[in-house]
Amino acid sequence: GENVEQHPSTLSVQEGDSAVIKCTYSDSASNYFPWYKQELGKRPQLIIDIRSNVGEKKDQRIAVTLNKTAKHFSLHITETQPEDSAVYFCAATGAQKLVFGQGTRLTINP
């Protein structure tokens, strides 16, 4: 079945710097790759997603890139702000289910 690996597990960056989180997936049939942000005590919220027919997608300070050949995708956050501090999860579709990575705890230092 699908397996998603996410790195790093923790990431600490200075406010204003960029943050990058990387994921790899195993199922070449996967065609949808969302990213979720989960703040402490809250539900995971979809922040951006990408489908297999697209290589890159941007939404203001957030971008996601997908390399289908290498089976990896990445989340890029530019000009980080304190409110970006949270746990981020990547996911990939596999047989009618979303399989999640283990999460990255992002801390923005003022």
Residues near other proteins, by CB under 8 A: 31-32, 34, 36, 42-46, 49, 51, 89, 93, 95-103
Beta carbon nearer to other proteins, 58 or 97: 97
Beta carbon nearer to other proteins, 43 or 110: 43
| Minimum distance from residue 10 beta carbon to other proteins (Å) | 12
Distance of CA 82 to the CA centre of its chain: 18
| Minimum distance from residue 32 beta carbon to other proteins (Å) | 5
Please tell me the total number of residues recorded for the chain in this structure. Answer: 110
Return the closest-CA partner of residue 75 out of 37, 36, 34, 21: 21
| Minimum distance from residue 28 beta carbon to other proteins (Å) | 15
